[in-house]
Amino acid sequence: MTRVVHDYGAELKGGAGSDGKTIGNMYQVSNKISLGKSEIDILEEFDEVALMLIQMENEARDDYIAQYGRQLEDRICRSYGLIAYSRILNYVDAMENLSNIRLGVVLSIIKNIELHKINDLMINVQCSHLQKSAQRVFSDELECDSYRADFLRAQFS
């Protein structure tokens, strides 16, 4: 996939955690070549890349479901349980499990949550957003992770 995107003059990068690994299955697509191109040309090329990525993702998802449907459903449901009942939840675990839940919503495995709510939660579980919600600065990582778990439990209750 990365090679195909590269051929279109774009770049695909994962949203990296502190160890450089992609977390939450979130990716950033950006253009690599803009000199000498008009904004219209860049947008048209970017639209082509986005549509191609969507098609590739849908095909890959369909293939995966056909081969591992039950395991995928189990992973999604486990993530839902972990988010709904955890007492301490770090950012990486929150993002990975919210990503699984998001997939469950897209596939209609999970029907009691709207997609936009999961998208918002994937932003709002960041420490700075949680501190704003709590109206205080957390004293340490454990306090943030505990608040994150409480925050998500309240959203899933």
Radius of gyration of the chain (CA): 18
pLDDT score for 148: 98
Mean pLDDT of 47-57: 89
The CA distances from residue 86 to 56, 83, 148, in Å, are 34, 6, 9
At 47, the pLDDT band (50, 70, 90 cuts) reads confident
At 29, the pLDDT band (50, 70, 90 cuts) reads confident
Spatial distance between the Cα atoms of 4 and 48, rounded to a whole number of angstroms: 11
Which class for 88: exposed (0-12), middle (13-18), buried (19 or more C-beta within 10 A)?
A: middle
Looking at the DSSP bridge assignments, the partners of residue 31 are 10
Q: What is the mean pLDDT of the chain?
A: 88
At 104, the pLDDT band (50, 70, 90 cuts) reads very high
Phi, psi values for residue 24, rounded to 5°: 70, 15
At 82, the pLDDT band (50, 70, 90 cuts) reads very high
Spatial distance between the Cα atoms of 32 and 51, rounded to a whole number of angstroms: 18
Mean pLDDT of 90-102: 96
